[in-house]
């Protein structure tokens, strides 16, 4: 089996690194989150599952490569593509390219939205909520079972909408290498990799063996595990189809 983790890299998403949550900061976060609630109305082409008006969305930002919807939560967000030149740019900028404490969810610069394994980063915003805050404690089995009652709907212009089942979750240091695998020889090596991920997980779905046996792709969602800024721990959720 050939799986090539990129040693020495990190899961770069962080909680918003502010020394204190002042009133202006909290207000700014709330306003930033509300902008994304409005953009979801623009993106919805119709009432069909996963219907996205990509022309309308890319008119606002041509860097949008996916739409992320997690059933049973309010997570319903556009996703941009990070670049090699500035991998963490979307952590501090919104969909319209303006500085924002909420940032924009984005795909790791080493992979793509339609890849066999994509990593999607997004902030956890204490106090105000928004972005990926609802799932930041899903490394706990009780929270995993309570919150992850539906599927991840991952939509792209080329691939349409794929329904991915929640597989497992964990809390790891930002240097955790195993999740940073993007290059697999075949379905067999990909599934072996998933088994190693499950071994490291602290929460998993019932019947995970069956999901792994059928899996051909995965989306990992990463956010901060703490309400405190500047911490190294990350919550990682893995969804498979």
Alpha-carbon distance values, 141 to 5, 138, 171, 203, 208 (Å): 27, 7, 11, 5, 14
Domain count, the chain: 1
Residue that has been written with the tokens 């963490």 in this structure: 88
Separation between Cα atoms, residue 83 and residue 67, nearest integer Å: 18
Residue that has been written with the tokens 């989150």 in this structure: 33
Assigned token pair, 39: 């953009």
For residue 152, what are the contacts with CB-CB under 8 A and spacing of at least 6? Answer: 68, 69, 70, 71, 163, 164, 165, 166, 219, 221, 239
Task: Spell out the per-residue pLDDT of the chain, length 241, in tens.
Answer: 344 444 446 675 444 333 344 444 544 556 777 778 767 766 664 434 447 889 889 988 999 999 999 999 999 999 999 999 999 999 999 999 999 989 999 999 999 999 999 999 999 999 889 999 999 999 999 999 999 999 999 999 999 999 999 999 999 999 999 999 999 999 999 999 999 999 999 999 999 999 999 999 999 999 999 998 889 999 999 999 9
CATH number of the domain encompassing residue 177: 2.40.260.10
Query: Residue 167: which domain range?
Result: 3-240
Separation between Cα atoms, residue 96 and residue 60, nearest integer Å: 7
């Amino acid at each position: 089996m050939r799986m090539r983790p990129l040693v020495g890299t990190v899961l770069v998403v962080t909680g918003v690194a502010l020394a204190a949550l002042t009133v202006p900061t909290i207000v700014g976060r709330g306003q930033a989150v509300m902008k994304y609630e409005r953009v979801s109305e623009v993106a919805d082409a119709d009432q069909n599952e996963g219907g996205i008006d990509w022309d309308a969305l890319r008119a606002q930002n041509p860097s949008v490569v996916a739409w992320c919807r997690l059933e049973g939560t309010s997570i319903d967000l556009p996703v941009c593509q990070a670049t090699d030149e500035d991998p963490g740019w979307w952590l501090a900028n919104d969909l319209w390219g303006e500085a924002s404490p909420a940032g924009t969810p984005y795909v790791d610069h080493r992979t793509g939205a339609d890849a066999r394994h994509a990593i999607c980063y997004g902030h956890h915003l204490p106090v105000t909520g928004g972005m990926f805050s609802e799932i930041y404690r899903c490394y706990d089995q009780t929270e995993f079972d309570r919150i992850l009652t539906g599927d991840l709907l991952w939509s792209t212009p080329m691939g349409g909408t794929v329904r991915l089942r929640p597989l497992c979750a964990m809390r790891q240091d930002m240097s955790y290498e195993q999740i940073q695998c993007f290059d697999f020889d075949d379905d067999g090596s990909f599934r072996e990799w998933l088994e190693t991920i499950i071994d490291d997980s602290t929460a998993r779905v019932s019947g995970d063996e069956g999901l792994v046996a059928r899996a051909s792709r995965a989306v990992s969602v990463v956010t901060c595990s703490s309400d405190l800024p500047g911490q190294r721990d990350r919550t990682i959720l893995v969804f498979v189809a």
